[in-house]
Amino acid sequence: MRRSISAMIAAAAPLVLLYAGLARAATWGANYFPNVPLTTQEGKTVRFYDDLLKGKRVVIDFIYTKCGDSCPLETARLAQVHRLLGDRMGRDIFFYSISIDPVRDTPAELKAYAESYRAGPGWLFLTGKKADIEAIRKKLGQAARAGENELTDHSTSFTIGNEATGQWMRDSSTDDPHYLAAIIGDWMGDWKNRVPGQSYAEKPELPASAADRGANLFRTRCAACHSIGEGDGVGPDLAGVTRVRKREWLAGMIALPNEMLAKGDPIATALFAQYRQVRMPNLRLGDVDVNALLGYLEARDAAGASGGKDGK
Ligand code: HEC
């Protein structure tokens, strides 16, 4: 088991292990993290170290509710991982999504945001004083660098930690949710308390050929919010979508969903209202990727994925 997990860690390209952090584990404790007050989406005041970190396994990310590109994918990805971790959430594993736009992101805004992603137990959406949040960002190595826009250039990775054992690492939000759940649930610390039935070996097969770029992109960038024929997620079920919409419209929606909404496209506007005002994120895909995705959706529709649009 140990060997297969380390092989899997070695195989995961986007993963950045904070070995420096590991070596300095002893310092990543009460004396390292600022114990600043934060406010939850329920309006409760908590201390960053005492209440949120001490003795816990945590996943921390930085978001803001008005974000139109990376954060919706991060949040949807965490919602998937949350479902995989099941009843361990809120027991020994906690997620913290901290706003980097704390003036606009009031607890009420964060609560509405949490609800639109159906965030479950053990997942807090936090706001606070800007300076305090900056201090946390800095300690986690997630502060904006000089010349970067502190909102739009923020890092899209998760910080995953086990405060008790002093293990800290960073992982990409585009990673496979089964893999993330395995890392958070199994790898960080104790091996006895594995998530039953959620072994990494059971994760869906990766697409066989590298030529299957569309399938790969769909799995890593879209599947957190969309299924094809398995019902609505955060976004609509995409089964049949290439039959009911024009290719050009789909290309626009996939490449520049924010602009579709901004220019008042009637379908995009109606969908935005229907899907709890979650923004379909602009994932900055180039033409090649958009075409690969369209090809994938068309192939799935041709292969007869049923449900979704056809049933509407
Ligand atoms: C964070 C969640 C999220 C991610 C990630 C996401 N979408 Fe969406 N998508 C939505 C939502 C929500 C809508 C509904 C429109 C809106 O609210 O903006 C939508 C709408 C769509 C539509 C229009 C559906 C229709 O019925 O016409 C298409 C097509 C689509 N998305 C494709 C994609 C593709 C392809 C990807 C991956 C590259 C992707 N989406 C990634 C949330 C997401």
pLDDT tens digits, 14-63: 344 443 344 344 457 778 899 999 999 999 999 999 999 998 999 999 99
CA of residue 204 to ligand 1 center, whole Å: 22
CA of residue 187 to ligand 1 center, whole Å: 32
Per-residue pLDDT at 16: 42
Q: What is the mean pLDDT of residues 88-97?
A: 94
Q: Which has more confidence, 158 or 190? A: 158
Per-residue pLDDT at 171: 82
Q: Which has more confidence, 52 or 184? A: 52
Which numbered atom of ligand 1 lies nearest the CA of 285? Answer: 38
Task: Render pLDDT for 108-118 as a digit per residue (tens, 0 to 9).
Answer: 999 999 999 98
8 Å CB contact between 165 and 141 = no
- Token pair of 198 as six digits: 């959620």
149-153, 169-173, 215-219, 277-281: least confidently modelled range = 149-153
112 Rama sector, left if φ>0, alpha if ψ -120 to 50, beta otherwise: alpha
8 Å CB contact between 37 and 128 = yes
Task: Render pLDDT for 54-70 as a digit per residue (tens, 0 to 9).
Answer: 989 999 999 999 887 77
Q: How confident is the model at residue 146 (pLDDT cuts 50, 70, 90)?
A: low
Q: Is the pLDDT of residue 201 over 80?
A: no
6-10, 170-174, 294-298: least confidently modelled range = 6-10
8 Å CB contact between 189 and 57 = yes
CA of residue 271 to ligand 1 center, whole Å: 9
CA of residue 102 to ligand 1 center, whole Å: 26
Q: What is the mean pLDDT of residues 161-179?
A: 82
Distance CA 130, CA 39 (A): 12
Per-residue pLDDT at 174: 76
CA of residue 227 to ligand 1 center, whole Å: 10
Q: How confident is the model at residue 305 (pLDDT cuts 50, 70, 90)?
A: low
Q: Which has more confidence, 215 or 46? A: 46
Distance CA 291, CA 91 (A): 43
37-51, 117-131, 213-227: least confidently modelled range = 213-227
**Ligand 1 lining (C-beta closer than 6 Å):** 72-73, 76, 221-222, 224-226, 234-236, 238, 241, 245, 250, 253-254, 257, 271-272, 275, 278-281, 283, 293
Per-residue pLDDT at 281: 83
Q: Which has more confidence, 270 or 149? A: 270
The vertex-133 CA angle with 128 and 139, nearest 5°, equals 150
Distance CA 58, CA 95 (A): 6
Per-residue pLDDT at 20: 37
Cβ–Cβ contacts within 10 Å for residue 67, how many? 23
Task: Render pLDDT for 127-141 as a digit per residue (tens, 0 to 9).
Answer: 999 999 999 999 888
8 Å CB contact between 179 and 136 = no
Q: Which has more confidence, 102 or 69? A: 102
| Sole residue written with tokens 């955060």 | 234
Q: How confident is the model at residue 259 (pLDDT cuts 50, 70, 90)?
A: very high
- Whose CA is closest to 126, among 55, 202, 236, 42? 42
| Sole residue written with tokens 């949350």 | 82
Residue 224's Cα: distance from chain center in Å?
8
- Whose CA is closest to 222, among 245, 253, 248? 253
Which numbered atom of ligand 1 lies nearest the CA of 76? Answer: 1
Per-residue pLDDT at 11: 41
- Mean residue pLDDT of the chain comes to 81
Q: Specify the long-range contacts of residues 65-68, CB closer than 8 Å, at least 24 apart.
A: 65/99, 65/101, 65/104, 65/105, 65/109, 65/110, 65/112, 65/113, 66/101, 66/104, 67/151, 67/152, 67/279, 68/257, 68/258, 68/279, 68/281, 68/282
